[in-house]
Amino acid sequence: MPHDSLAAHSGSLSFEERSVLLHLANGASVRSGPQVFDRLIEDVTQLFACSAAWLATTRADGQLSTIAVKALGEWQASVEYSPERAPCSLVLQQCRVIRLEQANVGQHVLPELNLAHATRYLGAPLLDSQGDALGVLALLSDAPFPDDERAAAALQLFAERATAELRHQAAEHSARARTAELSGLFAGVLDAVLSLDADLHVVALNPAARELFGATDGEQLDLSRLLTDASVDRLRRAARDLDRSAVTSNSVWLAGGLQGKRRHQVFSAEAMLSSYATESNRAFNLILRNVEAQRQAEARIVALTREAEYLRDRAESPEKAERIVGGSSSVQRARHEIERAASLQSCVLLLGEAGTGKELFARTLHDLSRRAQRPFVRFSCTGASSESLARSLFGDERSEGRVRLAATGTLLLDEVADFPLELQPQLLRLLELGEFETVGSSRTHSVELRVVATTRRNLARAVADGSFRQDLYYRLSVFPIELPPLRERGRDVDELAQMFLDRFAHSAGVSFSPLPEVSLERLRHYPWPGNVRELRAVIERGALISTPPNFDIDQALPERRNEVAELDDLAASIQSEHSLIALKRENILRALEKTRWKVAGESGAAALLGLNASTLNSRLRALGIRRPSR
């Protein structure tokens, strides 16, 4: 049904039915932008059949300023008024929905609207992530409002939608400011900078590049005009290499430089190529330097490019924001611990099985902290060599690392138990002193940030077997928080399953009936070894193979018989801790005997066991293994 005709068809519906329809219509119409607030006020006016509705935010000087006002069917000019005017002051002070019936209440709140006859007031607060009031959504009427809790909940829902849009617009403003800063640096840097698209077509040159190549302002340029054929081929190979290694590296230094062309003369220039994501593809920056200077400006360009990309993604995709779902006691305990930790600056260690939502809890902690408007940067401690991890985390002289990108914000060390033993002293120095050195340099850098670490492993056991430093363990575990597995969260499974189903149905443009109790019962009794991540996959699979509106739980849940048999076999082979240590000791001794007690090198025991030599030496000490005397 078109949104404009909703009111004409809703006269016979109950308040609850109209609330649902209007909420769905609002979500399906304007998603963001200036029209959102007007549409929201229009919807509220229709739903509550009120005389006036307005949305106001708190200014820096404490005054309230309306951003959308409608009274007696007409849009009104913006109004500024004191928050002390009752009952708006009660909404802001108590941070909850306030309902008031009082003679001439309209004259007390907004006399500018000429609604002295209004006798009913209903207001809801706009709350930020820390629960503080940013403004108010208020209604006036001379007729009674619905007096049940659904009316208050519906108004609060609209207030939350307005708050989300305010956050979205603030993020857009930050992204535009950072992009403007990047553009200014692009124009003012002394190095020559070329902006290239995914096919390496020249998009823009800064003034230094035009001077370097002798190009005029209006001249259309391509790489063949600027570089020799051999340099163009080398640049294309470097771009392909960057695309393949984008997960671990966003820039490459072209050793030996490139050959440029200026008025039929060839010159040599040192070069660095960096890549970054755009809205639809990837793009590149090529920095050329014919003198050894301006390294700081080059690093700043890379940092601003990445931070602008981070802010743009956050501004353009507010719907991707996740929230902690569930009311079970275990989740409430974890949420309470997160709220406590958010007010502190200590390291936080999130413990839990794979798929329990450790990154989501870490992001929530960041959003609740004073660093909420600064970057949240995730770094995976697994799946790469020690050198690649070091370059990606700490950077080098020509590229930024995650530590610098997270400056003044939050750095998430995902699966910290897998961080290489030989790099752990550098991580400890970062945590204790806020200092680090880039790869290949002895220069010390200082940074202020907060570190949150996650792990699915037992770090105390890793310390015992020599694969993790004890001092680093103590430093990381200042504030440990245990996240519950899904199998211990009871009816949280119901809420999560319905949320995932609604989300997938919306993205596919279909509609499913609410999950029946028999399906929810089966979901609650499933063990969920993969936790919330597995539940999401099961619901997504079911949404794809089911025929709407019915969700096929039989097709969605995996076959259990083979899994049960595998679990039985595993249970029969479970070893005690003492047996496992003995097996580990015996395995290491066999490797040492085979390599004639050579530890390091390609033919050493460490390589045979798939370990770093330093890790193996630590385990030898922990297990008391010594080479027998000759």
3 state SS for 209-247? HHHHHCCCCCCCCCHHHHECHHHHHHHHHHHHHHHHCCC
In this structure, what DSSP letter does residue 509 have?
T
Residue 615 identity: T
Q: Which of 32, 372, 320, 310 is nearest to 179 (CA)?
A: 310
Specify the fold of 486-571: Helicase, Ruva Protein; domain 3 (1.10.8)
The ranges of the chain with pLDDT < 50 are 1-13, 24, 27-30, 291-296, 317-320, 561-572
- Provide the edge-to-edge strand list for the sheet that holds 450-455: 376-380, 410-414, 450-455, 348-351, 479-482
How is residue 506 written in tokens? 């919306």
Looking at domain 3-162, what is its CATH homologous superfamily?
A: GAF domain (3.30.450.40)
How is residue 232 written in tokens? 């163009």
**60 CB-contact burial (10 Å; exposed 0-12 / middle 13-18 / buried 19+):** exposed
Q: Following CA atoms 603, 604, 606, 607 in sequence, which dihedral angle do they give, to the nearest 10 degrees?
A: 0
Thinking of the domain 322-482, which architecture would CATH place it in? 3-Layer(aba) Sandwich (3.40)
Its pTM stands at 0.47
**Pick among 3.30.450.20, 3.30.420.40, 3.40.50.300, 3.40.47.10: CATH of 190-293:** 3.30.450.20
**Taking the domains of the chain in order of start, what are their residue ranges?**
3-162, 190-293, 322-482, 486-571, 577-623
Q: Cis (ω within 30 of 0) for the bond into 420?
A: no
The Cα angle at residue 291 between residues 288 and 276, in degrees rounded to 5: 25
Instruction: Return the SS3 of 433.
Output: helix
Cβ(234)–Cβ(258) under 8 Å? yes
pLDDT of amino acid 410: 94
Common-topology check for domains 3-162 and 322-482: no
Task: Kindly report, residue by residue over 123-153, the tens digit of the pLDDT.
Answer: 999 988 778 888 999 999 888 887 777 788 8
How is residue 549 written in tokens? 């509106």
Cβ(526)–Cβ(554) under 8 Å? no
pLDDT of amino acid 171: 76
Q: Which of 389, 445, 447 is nearest to 416 (CA)?
A: 389
In this structure, what DSSP letter does residue 558 have?
P
The Cα angle at residue 234 between residues 276 and 441, in degrees rounded to 5: 65
